[in-house]
Structure 1
Amino acid sequence: MHQAPVVRLVLLTLLLVTAASGSTQPVIVLDAADGVQTVGTYTAFFRTPDELSIEEVIALDSSGAFHRLNQAAPNFAATSDIVWLRFTVRKVSPLPFYLHLSSAFLDRIELYQIGESGPRLLRRTGDDLPFAERDLQVPSFLLLLDQRVEETRTYYLSVRSDQPLFFSLRTGTPKAYFEDLHTQDFLQGVYFGFMLLIFLYNFLIYVSLRERVYLYYGFYLLSITLFMSFVFQYLFQYFWPNFPQLNRYAVATAGLTIISAVLFSREFLSTLTNAPRFHRLSRFFLGLGGLIIILVVVQVPLLALMLSQAGILLLALFLFVLGVVLYRRGFSPAKYYLIAWGVLILGFVAAMLESLNVLPVSPHLNSLQIGSALEVTLLSFALADRINTYKRDRIQAQREALHAAQTAHALVAQQKEILEERVEERTRQLHETLRLVEIEREKSDHLLLSILPNDIAAELKERGYAEPRFFRSVSVMFMDIVQFSSLTRGLPARELVDRLDDIFNCIDDIVSTHSLEKIKTIGDAYMAAGGIPNPDDGHAVQIVVAAQKILECVAQFPPDSRGNCWQMRIGIHTGPVVAGVVGKNKFAYDIWGETVNLASRMEVNSAPGRINVSEATFNYIQDHFACTFRGQVEARNIGLVGMYFVEPGSNGSPVCRF
């Protein structure tokens, strides 16, 4: 009996609210010609910690509780409040129109339409409900605005979330939305594809080298990718669409990210030995990551979110400072590491400023994605630089050689097109062009063969890249000129270059004669290897014989203009290496591994005019050479290593017995 007056009162209130809002709040016009339009500034908002009915909200609206929203993308930061939005819509096109909420992390959404008979619930959705219950199967939320053409309606939208509450609010037809979402899907595909590619690449390196740093790095990449998959609800859409309760564990991946970042950084920077104090402090962040995961499991999401935001930013700053400290101490791989964490810090700061409503929200890629993609790229560089810590590359190949070949092929194609149009007139010019192309091709082939092994050069030409290879047994030789700095101080530049040229030409000839591979020269140092790129069981003997002849060759040079005789010292070690072509603008064939490091230590611990070999090399050559055991000698950053001098013969050079 009392319901009719109540309904009339509600309708009267709605009319008053609509009339009052119409004088201060613009009306959203649904016109297909406008495409997708952002409508945040067309709304008014009200936030409350309490559960209210639509009738109570309308009553509060009539009393002036709602305020005009001045943001294109509503942003209420991290809050447990329920936010109500009110907007008025006039439809002028017959097509269906949808309201788009871009955030995937909205726990509960309710859309009410004010009609002649009172408020009507149009849609209730959110990531707390199964994915299949959405109007359109997309990661974000599309809500149908159900009204007739030339009809004006007022809507109330209720939104709540345990995550930071910010989202784009737009209207448009399904066609316009999907055209816009195509750009987002493309960018997201590029991002996730890139992250998975880097993960698989480092996992394969771990399988090959069994170094934990690559395992931890893969763990770190996987945790970031999982976090972003949660954020954009790809996991919800494709893996558990009927279990929305799993979305509550998204913040747990932030805890995993903190743990994996600490494990990777400790292994990469060797903090246990290089920075023990920082190593101990890093345990705090391991505990923080575990605490975040526990809070998510026991359903304290808001606290877990706040701890993860603060923890990730503090961790990034902590690791940035750690990188600065180690870089200043001379740990060169910290350079890329330092830049990587600096970029990630900027991404975190930008993402937090977005969530705090300081920066506008990006519609397609968030700042954290951009920062993380740049960071993993730079960390990949840091891993590569770590492999090359104990050597300095002198890039010898030029990228222009390959570019010249490509240009030549393009020129051939262009000349062929001209030939089709003016075949009789341009025959002579075409033949001349083809001759020049052949000359350029021969030059580029010759240049490539002069800086790379034949097999590697052929593979590079055929496939555009050279596959890295693992060699189980390779002999690596380092040699340098004794007291080079003091010998060359004050020596005329021409004489210095001529003397080095004579010595290195002699070494080049000997290396080539004994089927060895020249790797590089660094100043007065020369590096060569036996057993690559073609395996050879006799590589250890051949490299020692070559070392003998090198000492003989250098000893035959007359004193320089200052009366000084030049001597070499040589170190050799045998073991496994990884070989491949590196470089972006110029190519270089190089080898990596602990074997290279130990061979360098053999040379450092050698003596003028002597050949110092490791115990591993001695085991290969002991039946062919007289050697003297030097004992266990301390090698920097390695420890005690058994070393042998190859004894010289009667002519002063080491003796070889076959």
Structure 2
Amino acid sequence: MNRLVLILLISLLVGGRAGAGPIRISDLTEPYDLYKASELLEVRAGSVSVDELLQNPGRYRFVPTENRLIKPYDHQFGYWFRFQITNETDREVFMQFIYAGTEFIRVYETVDNRILTLHKLGSLQPEPAAPFRKSIQFCPIQARNGQTHTFYVYMEGVYTGVLPIYALSTTRLIESQHYSDLFYGIYYGFILIIIVYSLVLYIRLREQGNLRYAIWVFFIGLLMALFRGHTSEFFWPANPSIERYSAALSSVTGVLHILFTLTFLRLRLQAPRFYKIGIGIVVLYLISFVLNVANVSLNYQLGRQIDIVPVVVLLEGTFSIMAGLVTLRKGFRPALFYIAGNLFFYIGIFVFLMYTYGQLQFSFWTYESIHLGVGVEILFFAVALTYKVNLLKKRRQEAEQEQIRLLVENKRLVSEQNAMLEQKVQQRTEELQAAKQRSEELLLNILPAEVVEELKRTGRSKPRRFERVTVLFTDIVNFTSMGERLSPEELVSEIDYYYRSFDAILSQYRIEKIKTIGDAYLCAGGLPVVYPENPVEVVRAALEMRAFLLRNQHERQANGQQHFEFRIGVHTGPVVAGIVGDRKFAYDIWGDTVNTAARMEQYGEAGKVNISETTFRLVKEQIRCSYRGKIAVKNKEALDMYYAEELVAVGIPGAVEETD
């Protein structure tokens, strides 16, 4: 009696599901899940046509659709789905198949056992006219205005137990595809950037790991595009049969991943045993590649697709993480990012498998879990490569520094041995040769270009007299007392900071730096190339030096730091310039003009540009000056002196226009 009641209950449940009413579409803002509301019939592939279903409906027993009833990768079976749709609106509605990997999909819309429309979809369905449908599997529904139509959907060549089918409006279809295009556009753009970045690293460093990584990223991106129908859409929409070799592409991607792992983790040196295991996994991938190609070429005559890739992928995942841990324990820190990338990849695979077997609901995160896992893996691998590149650079620099140290040490030892073994004359000859070589290298840094050319032509430089040269002297105020408060290193660093800034200012003008003497800085304009504007240019440079010194003073005072103060003096007149001596020669200038410029500096004030009357007469039209009066000068008559204040000439950058 109890058994009879149980049988009746089961019959009522099955009958209630089979006789359920049609799916009623009334709200166009919502998608309708057709897959869950459908009934399923498993048949031998191609053995039952839609006409037989329409003519003999009682002969075939449809059952409620369940994920467990679908056998992925088994090409001996096909699946019929049946459901009814009542479109209570007057708008067009579309049927969308989310998963783009099913090979053949036939959608029959019927009414009164009569076929209204037939739509052919699927990854292996040629689409020369509308290639975008390779990645967007959809078709229109004719029913509207309360019409109820029965749909028969036949699928063959399925690769997952979850086949989401939705009915949705035009707006929802466009919206979903918009977000899909946005996601995949960003995704493939990210992959392209990583490929270019890796190739640039390879070209610069010639590191094989970067090249193998770029190739692997390309193929994994190609595989991800193949999973979503994008390869067929963009490359071969009219002849998509090559899509059947997707499992073979998975094997190629696995081989490239292993080769990258062997190179990146340096397993041949760090873990030889793991290196051999990696080679073994490569062999397994090659075997799976041959099996997949053979099975597809024989048109699946072997029945269920022979695919050992999932097993090899699981083996590879274990191998990759363990190899990463071994190298990480040996101090190779980039392996940490490598391990993290692999973990995210296999988490993505696990989530997708849970989804395909019906354990997780369809959503963006479950459907795109593999793509997201691969994206994060690529990102972590890129970080790991960058970490490794920086590590290699650091080690290379350390090696170069050690080499330099050894070279210096060797040179010292050789010099000591030479000092003991060679005669004094030979030692002096070597010193002269070394000095000559250094002179050649430093020549352009210490002499004007015109003087260098003269030396090259004649072997010597004749002194020349220049009638109008503007000489600038600058000196640090209270240098001795301030220097006592600083260590030698700090003192040299401070002077170097100021004089480098002066050099930068002079580089903007035709001014020649002559020399530095302790805390004094000497330069001149109007030589060795003569130009009449040299007084203005030198005074302008002096004003820029003063502006720099004032800014520096304010900044350091605000930070509670000490600073140097400078006096600047300028004078214009004739000088003699040239090179004297045979060794350690330098370009120098002589004459009373130089002495007078030094007096201008000595009798000026800190933070001021003190110029002579001669210079004033030459710059007064362009530079506003203030007269100081006659100043008594040691060993000279009293001299008229002026403070240069600012530029006033129209048309000079940085000048201030005078107004009446």
State the TM bucket, normalised to the shorter chain: 0.5 to 0.7
Over 3 Å counting, the alpha-carbon distance change for 1:505 and 1:229 in structure 2 is: farther
Unmatched 5+ residue regions in structure 2?
Answer: 1-13, 406-485, 501-660
The alignment of Structure 1 onto Structure 2 pairs a total of residues equal to: 398
- Counterpart of 1:204? 200
Deviation at 1:221, TM superposition (A): 0.3
Matched, 1:355 2:365: no
Alignment partners' CA distance in 2, 1:319 and 1:503: 56
> 3-state SS of the aligned residue for 2:28?
helix
- Counterpart of 1:183? 179
Map 1:19-418; keep pairs closer than 5 Å: 24-31=19-26, 33-50=28-45, 51-57=47-53, 62=58, 65-69=61-65, 77-80=72-75, 81-116=77-112, 118-119=114-115, 122-132=118-128, 137=133, 139-161=135-157, 163-300=159-296, 306-363=307-364, 366-389=368-391
Answer yes or no: is the 8 Å Cα contact 2:73–2:304 preserved in 1: no
> 3-state SS of the aligned residue for 2:139?
strand
Over 3 Å counting, the alpha-carbon distance change for 1:95 and 1:305 in structure 2 is: farther
Deviation at 1:156, TM superposition (A): 1.2
Over 3 Å counting, the alpha-carbon distance change for 1:513 and 1:319 in structure 2 is: farther
Over 3 Å counting, the alpha-carbon distance change for 1:507 and 1:256 in structure 2 is: farther
TM-score (norm 2): 0.54
Over 3 Å counting, the alpha-carbon distance change for 1:330 and 1:33 in structure 2 is: same
> 3-state SS of the aligned residue for 1:157?
strand
AA in 2 matched with 1:182: H
AA in 2 matched with 1:355: T
Alignment partners' CA distance in 2, 1:345 and 1:209: 31
AA in 2 matched with 1:366: E
Deviation at 1:23, TM superposition (A): 7.0
> 3-state SS of the aligned residue for 2:160?
coil
Alignment partners' CA distance in 1, 2:496 and 2:70: 69
Over 3 Å counting, the alpha-carbon distance change for 1:269 and 1:117 in structure 2 is: closer
Q: Can you list the C-alpha shifts for 1:283-302, whole angstroms capped at 9, x where unaligned?
A: 12212222333234334478
Deviation at 1:33, TM superposition (A): 2.7
> 3-state SS of the aligned residue for 2:166?
strand
Alignment partners' CA distance in 1, 2:189 and 2:285: 26
Answer yes or no: is the 8 Å Cα contact 1:135–1:144 preserved in 2: no
> 3-state SS of the aligned residue for 1:250?
helix
> 3-state SS of the aligned residue for 2:123?
coil
Answer yes or no: is the 8 Å Cα contact 1:341–1:375 preserved in 2: yes
Over 3 Å counting, the alpha-carbon distance change for 1:310 and 1:35 in structure 2 is: same
Q: Can you list the C-alpha shifts for 1:460-499, whole angstroms capped at 9, x where unaligned?
A: xxxxxxxxxx99x9868999xxxxxxxxxxxxxxxxxxxx
Deviation at 1:136, TM superposition (A): 7.1
- The answer to which of 122-131 and 360-369 deviates more is 360-369
Answer yes or no: is the 8 Å Cα contact 2:94–2:141 preserved in 1: yes
Alignment partners' CA distance in 2, 1:238 and 1:42: 34
Answer yes or no: is the 8 Å Cα contact 1:230–1:236 preserved in 2: yes
TM-score (norm 1): 0.54
Answer yes or no: is the 8 Å Cα contact 1:26–1:42 preserved in 2: no
Answer yes or no: is the 8 Å Cα contact 1:104–1:127 preserved in 2: yes
Q: Can you list the C-alpha shifts for 1:47-103, whole angstroms capped at 9, x where unaligned?
A: 2234212254458863672222367x9975444321111101112122222211111
Unmatched 5+ residue regions in structure 1?
Answer: 1-18, 394-469, 480-500, 516-658
- Counterpart of 1:612? none
AA in 2 matched with 1:167: L
Alignment partners' CA distance in 1, 2:241 and 2:192: 26
Query: Aligned-pair RMSD on alpha carbons?
Result: 3.8
Answer yes or no: is the 8 Å Cα contact 2:25–2:32 preserved in 1: no
AA in 1 matched with 2:316: L
Alignment partners' CA distance in 2, 1:241 and 1:352: 28
> 3-state SS of the aligned residue for 1:180?
helix
> 3-state SS of the aligned residue for 2:109?
strand
Alignment partners' CA distance in 1, 2:115 and 2:16: 17
AA in 1 matched with 2:352: A
Over 3 Å counting, the alpha-carbon distance change for 1:505 and 1:252 in structure 2 is: farther
Alignment partners' CA distance in 2, 1:118 and 1:371: 46
> 3-state SS of the aligned residue for 2:61?
coil
Alignment partners' CA distance in 2, 1:391 and 1:217: 19
Deviation at 1:389, TM superposition (A): 3.5
Answer yes or no: is the 8 Å Cα contact 2:29–2:172 preserved in 1: no
Alignment partners' CA distance in 1, 2:491 and 2:233: 67
Over 3 Å counting, the alpha-carbon distance change for 1:117 and 1:327 in structure 2 is: closer
Over 3 Å counting, the alpha-carbon distance change for 1:84 and 1:143 in structure 2 is: same
> 3-state SS of the aligned residue for 2:128?
helix
CA radius of gyration, larger in: 2
- The answer to which of 21-30 and 229-238 deviates more is 21-30
Map 1:451-600; keep pairs closer than 5 Å: none
> 3-state SS of the aligned residue for 1:132?
coil
Alignment partners' CA distance in 1, 2:63 and 2:176: 30
Over 3 Å counting, the alpha-carbon distance change for 1:31 and 1:290 in structure 2 is: same
> 3-state SS of the aligned residue for 1:62?
coil
Alignment partners' CA distance in 2, 1:106 and 1:45: 16
Answer yes or no: is the 8 Å Cα contact 2:188–2:221 preserved in 1: yes
Deviation at 1:158, TM superposition (A): 0.7
Answer yes or no: is the 8 Å Cα contact 1:75–1:167 preserved in 2: no
Over 3 Å counting, the alpha-carbon distance change for 1:218 and 1:511 in structure 2 is: farther
Q: Can you list the C-alpha shifts for 1:489-530, whole angstroms capped at 9, x where unaligned?
A: xxxxxxxxxxxx999979988998999xxxxxxxxxxxxxxx
Answer yes or no: is the 8 Å Cα contact 1:202–1:218 preserved in 2: yes
- The answer to which of 349-358 and 331-340 deviates more is 349-358
Alignment partners' CA distance in 1, 2:237 and 2:139: 18
Answer yes or no: is the 8 Å Cα contact 2:28–2:168 preserved in 1: no
Alignment partners' CA distance in 2, 1:54 and 1:294: 37
Q: Can you list the C-alpha shifts for 1:242-283, whole angstroms capped at 9, x where unaligned?
A: 111121222222112111111111011111111111111111
Over 3 Å counting, the alpha-carbon distance change for 1:56 and 1:507 in structure 2 is: farther
Alignment partners' CA distance in 1, 2:110 and 2:379: 52
AA in 2 matched with 1:345: Y
Q: Can you list the C-alpha shifts for 1:8-56, whole angstroms capped at 9, x where unaligned?
A: xxxxxxxxxxx97787424212336344332222211122234212254
> 3-state SS of the aligned residue for 2:36?
helix
